[in-house]
Amino acid sequence: MATYAIGDVQGCYDALQRLLEKIRFDPAADRLWFCGDLVNRGGQSLETLRLIHSLAIHSTIVLGNHDLSLLAISTRREADQRKVNPDLQRVLFADDHEVLIGWLRRQKLMHVDRTLGFAMVHAGLAPKWTLSLAEARAREVEEKLQGDSFFKLVKNMYGDKPAWSPKLTGVDRYRAIINVFTRLRYCTPSGRIGFEDKGRPGTQKPGMYPWFEVPGHAPRELPVVCGHWSTLGLFMGLGIYAIDTGAVWGGKLTAMELGPELRLHQVAGREVPAGTRADD
């Protein structure tokens, strides 16, 4: 039995199929962890969602910013839905879209497996959050996503402000939590996110640190697997395993076999025009 954490798929169904073949995934014995951003840009988001949904009992998923965006768009008028890119439109107007969207709503923002000895988020953790605190923050938002407050939440979740503070309440609090879990790359020691900084470490503005290198951050009791940051590339250090290796941008799709001995498995991502580069 093996558990494989898989980086951002972003609608690259063919690459995901190749990766599952390479690791010889056995649903009778193995488990899959997905680091979020299942959809968008890869051209095969519908096929990707259908595949992962079919493996739901064998999979653990945390939501990424693109997944949350799809959930928000799913609540809008049809005329507005038809303005988004064709990849997401295929999901929104599929015969089984209600099943897929309903299933996506029930996924987590954070997963912690203390028996296996790993945690997983899409982007990162606020500097002062222990894993236990982070789990509690994630549950707050998950309850809203899965409950009657869903429509209000996704309508108001966009925006770069406010920065996280435990004193926040209402939609401001949920937006700040979502931004940490799904958009964080760089931040200050106080937790203010540098949303405009998206390149490799060394390119950020003064005073900004990669979230996992912030001075004085809270101790992390377990290693953390994450995605979201394709320009960072594969990063393994400081108890962090960042495995978004840019499959949608012509890089690789990565699976990390979790356990006492970590093993990496990679396949080529989708083919893209020269000069295409990640944005968010």
- Concatenating the DSSP letter of every residue in 246-262 gives BGGGTSEEEEEEESSS-
The pTM for the full model equals: 0.96
User: What pLDDT is stored for residue 205 in this prediction?
Assistant: 96
The tokens describing 48, both together, are 């990707």
Token pair for 32 = 């899959």
Question: Can you list the residues of the chain whose pLDDT is less than 70?
Answer: 274-280
In this predicted structure, what is the pLDDT of residue 277? 59
Torsion of CA 174, 100, 33, 200, to 10 degrees: -60
Position 110, amino acid: M
Q: What is the pLDDT of residues 36-54, one digit of tens each?
A: 999 999 999 999 999 999 9
Return phi, psi of residue 211, to 5°: -55, -30
CB within 8 Å of 96: residues ≥ 6 apart = 50
The pLDDT assigned to 259 comes to 85
Instruction: Please report the pLDDT score of residue 280 as a whole number.
Output: 67
User: Domain boundaries in the chain?
Assistant: 3-268
Contact of 66 with 278, CB cutoff 8 Å = no
Q: Residue 225: what residue type?
A: V
* pLDDT digit string, tens, across residues 9-25: 999 999 999 999 999 99
Top-tier CATH class for 3-268: alpha beta
* Token pair listed for 122: 């899409």
Asked if 173 contacts 140 with a C-beta cutoff of 8 angstroms, the reply is: yes
DSSP 61: E
The confidence score (pLDDT) of residue 49 equals 98
* pLDDT, tens digit (0-9, with 9 covering 90-100), for 132-143: 999 999 999 999
pLDDT at 278 (0 to 100): 55
